[in-house]
Chains A and B, each alone.
Chain A
Amino acid sequence: MNRMKNFTAGFVRENPVFSLYLGICSTLAVSTTLNNAIGMSVAVIVVLVLSNMIISAIRNITPNEIRIPVYIVIIAALVKIIQMLITAYAPALDTALGTFIPLIVVNCIILGRAEAFASKNNIFDSALDGLGMGIGYMFALLVMSAIRQLLATGVLNFANPFDMTQMIFEIRIIPAEYVISMFSQPVGAFFTFAILAAGVAAYKNHLEAKAKEQEKAEAALKKAAKEA
Chain B
Amino acid sequence: MKKILHLTIFLAVVAAVAGGALAFANDLTTPIIEKNQLAAEKESLKILYPEASDFKSVALKGDSKTIQKIFQVDDTTYIFKMQVAGYKDGTVFMVAINTEGDLLKYHAISNGDTSGIGTKVTEDAFKASLEGKKANEPLDTISGATVSSKPVVEGIHEAAAYVDEYLK
Task: Write the residues of chain A forming the contact surface with B, with a CB cutoff of 8 angstroms.
Answer: 61-63, 65-66, 69-70, 73-74, 76-77, 80-81, 84-85, 87-89, 91
A/B pair count, beta carbons within 8 Å? 47
Residue B36 interfacial (CB < 8 Å): yes
Cβ contact within 8 Å between A77 and B22: yes
Which of B19, B22, B29 has a CB less than 8 Å from the CB of A88?
B29
Q: Return A1 CB to nearest CB of chain B, in Å.
A: 36
* Secondary structure call for the A interface: helix
Cβ contact within 8 Å between B11 and A81: no
* Secondary structure call for the B interface: helix
Question: In the bound complex, how far is the Cα of B28 from the Cα of A87, in angstroms?
Answer: 12
Enumerate chain B residues within 8 angstroms of A66, measured Cβ to Cβ.
7, 10-11
Question: In the bound complex, how far is the Cα of B29 from the Cα of A84, in angstroms?
Answer: 6
Which of B3, B19, B29, B36 has a CB less than 8 Å from the CB of A85?
B29
Q: Return A67 CB to nearest CB of chain B, in Å.
A: 11
Enumerate chain B residues within 8 angstroms of A81, measured Cβ to Cβ.
21-22, 25
Q: Give 14 pairs: A residue, B residue, CB < 8 Å, sorted on A.
A: A61-B10, A65-B7, A66-B11, A73-B14, A74-B14, A77-B22, A80-B25, A81-B22, A84-B25, A84-B28, A85-B25, A85-B29, A88-B33, A88-B36
Residue B38 interfacial (CB < 8 Å): no
Cβ contact within 8 Å between A91 and B36: yes
Shortest Cβ distance from B6 into A: residue: A63
Enumerate chain B residues within 8 angstroms of A70, measured Cβ to Cβ.
10-11, 14
Q: Return A165 CB to nearest CB of chain B, in Å.
A: 13
